[in-house]
Amino acid sequence: MPKEYFKNLQDLLHVEREEDLQSYLKLTENTSAADRRALGLTWYPIAIRNTEIGRGDYLTVELERTTHHEFSHQFRFGSSAVLFSNHDAKVDRIDGVITHVGGHKMKISLRIDEMPDWARDGKLGVDLLFDNNSYDEMQLALKQATNLADQPSENKLIKILTKGDKPSFQSEEKFILPNALNASQQLAVNKIVSADHLAIVHGPPGTGKTTTLVQAIKSLVKHSDQKILVVAPSNTAVDLLTEKLAKEGLNVIRVGNPARVSEHLMAATLDHKMADHAEMKNIKTLKKQANEYKNMAHKYKRSFGKAERDQRKALFNEAHKIGKEVEQLEQYIMDNLFNKAQIITATLVGANHYTVRNLTYNTIIIDEAGQALEPACWIPILKAQKVVLAGDHFQLSPTIKSNEAARNGLSKTLLEKSVHLHPEAVVLLNEQYRMNEKIMKYSSQVFYEDQLSAHDSVAHHLLFAEDEALSFIDTAGCSFDEKLDGTSTTNPDEANFLIKHLVKLVEDLAQKKLTNSFPTFAIISPYKQQIQILQRLVKEEEKLFPYQAYISVNTIDSFQGQERDVVYISLTRSNPEGSIGFLADTRRMNVAMTRAKKKLVVVGDGSTLSKSAFYANFIQYAENLGGYHSAWEFVEL
């Protein structure tokens, strides 16, 4: 059965890869560098700032984008990229792998001895290539899992996760460090520590999942000399845990380069730790020597006679020899560092990076497991005897490009499957530290069997004494009709109304001269085009100029894991058919509604939304609290 299980996953992943590749090609084929730049797939123009000998004697090139800094981009550590000349981009190009991205600079490892002549002629750029590496790593892990499933001494963890074999737990109380956790967090730490193979931490919004994991990892490290691997699907989640573990004084190494920049994080990176190693002096000397040989070789042009060509070849061979020596020394340093490390952190795919590929672990912890594609989870799982899944399957699921693959099961995460299969391994964190209880309550009823409670410190907090924690403003009857803008839905009238409401609130708050600092605001919507309208309106509204720094406007997905004092949600849909499209994904709405700490304002057309039980019940919930308002009440705005 596990064999069929993995075969099915391989097939689904194949379908997803094909769909992903087709959409990448559609985006990039026959497009200009400027178009690709706007999509975040290209840096152009760039300047080469430095070249040095990198791993495997390949050339590592440091480059910088010199303009268009305002464009966000999708370049990440480990991605494949191509350096090209826009003079003849089809011919003048070299493939490589990104070894570092930070600010407006990146380093790419290129499989060449020397830079081509065209690299000196300007008009250079770098394109992000299709992410074959991630798919290859996932397929490789599924293949390995299939082979393991074939063996008679089949891996116990595989049996538990795929066949439903029962996980076991140690009965005696052991090695829990003293801490200030609440009862459910303490229970979760106990579960993680006592589990032989599987433990699951279900962490709804604001319940302190990261804090709980850090305490559990500390307890495991304290009483085990075996390494722990901590992974997550996103760099942001990996960075957060790395930082917190480093602050606790644990010896942690971050594989891959972080997206965030902080002192604790930088000190935990492999590059930083290697730079501090005593052997680095020798490596620098050797690299300098190799560079000198290469520079001498470059003086002999290829077009010279045989003697010159031989001389050139001999110099390159010398440089290669030194390169091999450098590689061995670097491997020695890395082995040394990883042996001493208590914890390794990486993304799911990064867990198989060449620096750590052969390491095995006693325990692996997968954070944000509700957002992790199952095939990616098997990359780290095969390296351990015990897995801890932490996340919330009632928040955003992984992004899947292929509807067919999603329909046939790829959208179901390992966390979701394991929660249903092994309730005995699950601990729900049930006390939250973010939201006023009125904001929390509807989400708790719908998604968490009404088991959540708000900690005293937040249960009743408001912007000011007589304020409303939760409001639904009904635009029904206002003729705020939705419009189709390309493939995205917009509602300009609703956007205008929301901004006017926000301006009024901001002005009221400014007059109150609050004792605390000014509150933070998020304006969110599931629709990208609606967000663009809202962003423009916020920028253009003079009355908001002094408060721009406090206001963020973005899609719901970009706010997962974040919080603000006040959250406005523009539901956007308004049509006579009661068609709600995207809004039917109630997990996305769970994320949206649980970002708010002190005030949640939901703006939408009640008559359109009421066709869905989720929204009809929410409107009723708001009414019961006295938080239901018709937009007509605010006409003077």
**Rg for the chain, CA atoms, rounded:** 27
Q: pTM higher than 0.85, yes or no?
A: yes
Q: What are phi and psi of 117, to 5 degrees?
A: -60, -35
The per-residue pLDDT for range 586-618, each reduced to its tens digit, is 999 999 999 999 999 999 999 999 999 999 999
Q: What are phi and psi of 423, to 5 degrees?
A: -55, -25
Q: What is the reported pLDDT for 175? A: 63
Residue 302: band (very low, low, confident or very high) from pLDDT cuts 50, 70, 90 = low
Map tokens 């990892």 to a residue: 217
Q: Distance between CA 207 and CA 434 in Å, rounded?
A: 8
The per-residue pLDDT for range 156-179, each reduced to its tens digit, is 899 999 988 999 998 866 667 777
Tokens found for residue 360? 């095995």
What CATH number belongs to 151-251+342-429?
3.40.50.300
CATH class held by domain 433-634? alpha beta
Handedness of CA 478, 482, 483, 488 (dihedral sign): positive
Q: Which of 292, 290, 283, 355 is nearest to 326 (CA)?
A: 283
Tokens found for residue 591? 């994320």
Q: What is the reported pLDDT for 246? A: 95
Q: What is the reported pLDDT for 292? A: 80
Handedness of CA 581, 498, 396, 28 (dihedral sign): positive
Tokens found for residue 241? 């845990």
The per-residue pLDDT for range 18-55, each reduced to its tens digit, is 999 999 999 888 888 899 999 899 999 999 998 887 77
Kindly compute the dihedral angle of the four CA atoms of residues 339, 342, 348, 349, in this order, to the nearest 10 degrees.
-20
- Average of per-residue pLDDT across 342-356: 95
Q: What is the reported pLDDT for 49? A: 92
Q: Could you give the percent of the chain with pLDDT greater than 90? A: 71
Residue 152: band (very low, low, confident or very high) from pLDDT cuts 50, 70, 90 = low
Q: Distance between CA 8 and CA 203 in Å, rounded?
A: 29
- Residue 369 Cα to chain centre, angstroms: 11
Residue 637: band (very low, low, confident or very high) from pLDDT cuts 50, 70, 90 = low
Residue 560: band (very low, low, confident or very high) from pLDDT cuts 50, 70, 90 = confident
CA angle 159, 162, 165 (to 5 degrees): 45
Tokens found for residue 260? 């965030």
Map tokens 């979701």 to a residue: 416
Q: Distance between CA 395 and CA 280 in Å, rounded?
A: 45
Please tell me which residue, 260 or 127, carries the higher pLDDT value.
Answer: 127
Q: What is the reported pLDDT for 187? A: 94
The per-residue pLDDT for range 384-423, each reduced to its tens digit, is 999 999 999 999 999 999 999 999 999 999 999 999 999 9
Q: What is the reported pLDDT for 516? A: 73
In the predicted structure, residue 305 carries a pLDDT above the cut 90: no
Give the three-state DSSP class for 522: strand
- Biggest CA-to-CA distance, the chain: 92
Q: Distance between CA 558 and CA 561 in Å, rounded?
A: 9
Tokens found for residue 289? 């020597």
CA angle 223, 228, 234 (to 5 degrees): 145
Q: What is the reported pLDDT for 301? A: 64
In the predicted structure, residue 426 carries a pLDDT above the cut 60: yes
Three-class secondary structure assignment of 380-441 = HHCCEEEEEEEECCCCCCCCCCCHHHHHHHHCCCHHHHHHHHCHHHEEECCEECCCCHHHHH
CATH class held by domain 31-130? mainly beta
Q: What is the reported pLDDT for 178? A: 74
Element (H, E) at 24: helix 2-28
The per-residue pLDDT for range 462-490, each reduced to its tens digit, is 999 999 999 999 999 999 999 988 788 99
Q: Distance between CA 368 and CA 630 in Å, rounded?
A: 38
What is the overall mean pLDDT for the chain? 91
User: 497 with 628: CB under 8 angstroms?
Assistant: no
- Residue 117 Cα to chain centre, angstroms: 38
Three-class secondary structure assignment of 590-609 = HHHHCCEEEEEEEEECHHHH
The per-residue pLDDT for range 54-92, each reduced to its tens digit, is 776 678 999 999 999 988 899 998 899 999 998 887 888
User: 206 with 434: CB under 8 angstroms?
Assistant: yes
Q: Distance between CA 441 and CA 591 in Å, rounded?
A: 14
Q: Report strand pairing: 198-202 vs 426-428.
A: parallel
Map tokens 């699921």 to a residue: 397
Q: Which of 523, 526, 525, 530 is nearest to 484 (CA)?
A: 530
